[in-house]
Structure 1
Amino acid sequence: MLPFSAKPQQVESCIAFLTYPGVKLLDVTGPLQVFEDANKLLDRIAYATPIASYYGGPIETDAGVLLNTRRLAGVGLDESDTLMIAGGAGVHAACRDARLVQAVQRSAEKAGRVSSTCTGAFLLGAAGLLDGKRAVTHWRHCDQLAEDCPDCDVDPDPIFIEDGRVWTSAGVTAGIDLALAMVERDHGRDLALELARSLLVYVKRPGGQSQFSEALKQQKRSATGRFDALHFWMKDNLTADLKVEALAERSGMSPRNFARLYTEDTGMTPARAVEQFRVDAARAMLENPNVSIKTVANQTGFGNDERMRRSFARLLGVTPQAYRERFAVDVTTGV
């Protein structure tokens, strides 16, 4: 076992996982596996991965599995290291532990990078590390994080965010994406892609990718759920007539009443919702470089690539070609 209180010469960096009673097991083991597999592919100990807690000793996770932890104060972080705070149901009790919050602050002062997976962001916030930063957590908890951390710009959409030395991720498996991004930053894209393949991750997802599809976003926006069935039909019929009159008829309403109720319920007009559904579908298709942009535009209901280009510029601030250049995936390898 590595003596983490004094980092061995051959270890390049330490990723210290901070835990507490009730921590979510996958928030620890998912990212940890990425860093351990990176060591195997590099054939050297690029990352030490101590699991820490305030006192050390066994910590019971939400799954009932006990983790053998070290005292956080004894890990010995420096500028080449990362403090990673896992999420879990116990995080709010952890935030009320003044000694633990102070320990996080002291460790963060020493570490070059601080991060959280899922609701671990609340402990970063309690330590004042999210002040003036843009951050994310699981979408269910974003409103609460914004309320608890008013000086933080909470963005509920991305799967992870890097803002200076502070990294935060959305729920559960997004911690794996965050860890892959850290490996890419530390050791290059080729290693991160090889890790994604070995872990059977379909694709190394960029941080700007949304936590959920447009259909799920619309469900979350909806105050009543009245239009959920319509939204999923729209998603599967993007080349159909999706004008207000057609959607109103499908919903059994007059066009005027439908437009009014839809806007009240979802906070956007039917036309904007249709546009967002089509952009969402086009983004997924553009990740396949073997499908032409013209085909994407036709199959997602835009009709022509110029209309799709205008929608991308309006909603995403990029052109379809620029989106493809950034996010295209080789379908033969999955990367």
Structure 2
Amino acid sequence: MRTVAALIYDDMRAFDYAVMAEVWGMDRADGGVPAFELRRCSVDGRPVRMHPGARVEATHGLDGLAGADLVVAPGREDPSAPVPAAIIEALRAAHAGGGTIASLCSGAFVLAAAGILEGRRAVTHWLLTERLARDHPGVTVVPDVLFMEDGGVWTAAGTAGGVDLCLELVRRAHGAAVANTIARRMVTAAHRDGGQAQFVERPVPQMAGGRSAVTATLEWARGHLSLPLTVTDLARHARSAPRTFARDFVSQTGATPAQWLIRQRVTEAQRLLETTDLSIEQVATRCGFGTATMLRRHFARILGTTPTRYRHTFAHT
């Protein structure tokens, strides 16, 4: 996935465009990141107005979508505004041509208007889920995930959910090491667990210094994944009762402690498989799975492949 077509149009959200530009428009060859071609595609190649108060020049007309490995539709300030016929036609052609199609935030409405989400599951900003379901009844709207894929079409939740999706697309195409390098340069997490429910405002227990007890424990746990950590261990570090800690953990991350630990261990396994010559058994031990059998089981469930195949595909990165 080297050629990315950013579909740009008037009133698109400036943040969504900035995410695409930051992930695929920056030269990070010094960090081992491959070169990407980011096409900025608009109707007739015209400049477009972004919301709020910015302007971006196009590099291509809508013909730039043809042949792109990935086409991304950003959100718009008015999600229900009519979509120009030329954009609908270009999106349908790109989809029919086999390219991967994605949307950020309310960009799901653009894909839905083109019929690309018909009969598929999709996500958008939690404030817009009911409207998407009402405006496009043929779309199955999933209210509580950060991003998702259905039949080669990807959609992301609001704002920062677009960061999660873009990094996941990089990870799928180029491996965890490349995605992690981009995430570090952006000073963001390479992977966030849970769904949009974690962003509903609610009281958060604080530790000395103002940090969340859960946040501090997450940082500690990431550095001790080789240990057989339990909810009791995490709760003890957070100076909380296990049941209270588990409840706070879910409310703040959208995942249970066990789910979060497994995902972190799989992510660490990806890094080790890409960057070391450790055996599968050694990787399993380093990540806290204990045995190669457990590593393979969770690897297959989460990534849909085996550790050996993953290493063969991504070790060169």
- TM interval, shorter chain, is 0.5 to 0.7
In structure 2, the partner of 1:32 is 21
Cα distance, 1:58–1:170 mapped onto 2, change above 3 Å: same
Q: What is the 5 A alignment of 1:282-297?
A: 285=217, 288-289=220-221, 292-293=229-230, 294-297=232-235
Aligned to 1:199: 186
Task: Give the drift of 1:183.
Answer: 0.8
Verify: 1:209 aligned to 2:197, yes or no: no
- Matches of 1:38 and 1:191, distance apart in 2: 13
The letter for the 2-side match of 1:296 is L
Say which SS state the counterpart of residue 61 (structure 1) adopts.
Answer: strand
Cα drift, residue 325 of structure 1: 2.3
Q: Determine helix, strand or coil for the equivalent of 1:323.
A: helix
Residue 48 of structure 2 aligns to a residue whose secondary structure is strand
* Superposition RMSD in Å: 3.3
1:91–1:18 distance in 2 versus 1, CA, 3 Å: farther
Q: Quick check: 1:58 aligned with 2:53?
A: no
Task: Give the Cα separation in 2 of the matches to 1:67 and 1:44.
Answer: 24
The amino acid across from 2:261 in the alignment is R
What CA distance in whole angstroms lies between the structure 2 residues aligned with 1:288 and 1:138? 31
Q: Between Structure 1 and Structure 2, how many residues are aligned?
A: 250
Alignment of 1:1-335 (within 5 A): 13-37=2-26, 40=29, 41-42=31-32, 44-45=34-35, 47-75=36-64, 77-78=66-67, 81-95=69-83, 97-201=84-188, 203-206=189-192, 208-213=193-198, 217=200, 232=203, 235-236=204-205, 285=217, 288-289=220-221, 292-293=229-230, 294-297=232-235, 299-302=239-242, 320-327=257-264
Q: Give the C-alpha shift of residue 99 in structure 1.
A: 3.2
How far apart, CA to CA, are the structure 1 residues paired with 2:205 and 2:22? 36
**Mind listing any 5+ residue stretches in structure 1 that lack a counterpart?**
1-11, 220-230, 238-279, 331-335
What CA distance in whole angstroms lies between the structure 2 residues aligned with 1:322 and 1:126?
Answer: 35
Distance 1:120 1:322, change over 3 A: closer
Query: 8 Å contact 2:66–2:93 — kept in the other structure?
Result: no
CA contact (8 A) 1:38 1:191 kept: no
Larger radius of gyration: 1
SS in 1 for 2:115: coil
Offset at 1:163? 2.1
Deviation of 1:24 after TM superposition, in Å, equals: 0.9
Q: Structure 1's 90 and 67: CA in aligned 2 closer, same or farther, altered over 3 A? A: farther
In the TM superposition, residue 94 of structure 1 has moved relative to its aligned partner by 4.0
Deviations 1:191-240 (A, max 9, x none): 11111111111x2124x522242xx54x6xxxxxxxxxxx52xx439xxx
| TM-score, structure 1 as length reference | 0.64
Partners of 2:77 and 2:257 in 1: how far apart? 40
Identity score, percent? 28
TM-score by length of 2: 0.68
Distance 1:50 1:121 in 2: 20
The CA deviation at 1:71 is 4.7
Q: For the Cα contact (< 8 Å) 1:160–1:177, is it kept in 2? A: yes
Offset at residue 37 of structure 1 (A):
3.5
Q: Distance in 1 between matches of 2:182 and 2:205?
A: 33
Which AA in structure 2 matches 1:18? L
Q: How far apart are the structure 1 equivalents of 2:109 and 2:143? A: 14
Note if contact 1:160-1:168 (Cα within 8 Å) is conserved in structure 2. yes
Q: Distance in 2 between matches of 1:304 and 1:118?
A: 33
Distance 1:287 1:62, change over 3 A: same
- The answer to whether the Cα contact below 8 Å between 1:85 and 1:117 also exists between their aligned partners in 2 is yes
Residues 17 and 325 of structure 1: is their aligned pair in 2 closer, same or farther, counting only changes over 3 Å?
A: same
Matches of 1:304 and 1:33, distance apart in 2: 39
Residues 82, 111 of structure 1: 8 Å contact kept: no
The verdict on how the C-alpha distance between 1:75 and 1:146 changes in structure 2, with shifts beyond 3 A counting, is: same
Q: For each residue in 1:273-321, what CA deviation from the matched residue of structure 2 results, as whole angstroms up to 9, or x when unmatched?
A: xxxxxxx98698456425742132454433599xx69x98xxx8x9744
Aligned to 1:255: none
Q: Residue deviations 1:240-266, cap 9 Å, x none?
A: xxxxxxxxxxxxxxxxxxxxxxxxxxx
Q: Is the 8 A contact 2:8 2:40 kept in 1?
A: yes
Asked whether the equivalents of residues 180 and 190 of structure 2 are also in contact (C-alpha less than 8 Å), the reply is yes
Structure 2: tracts of 5 or more residues without a match: 207-211, 269-317
Deviation digits for residues 162-203 of structure 1, max 9, x if unmatched? Answer: 2231111111222222111111111100111111111111x2
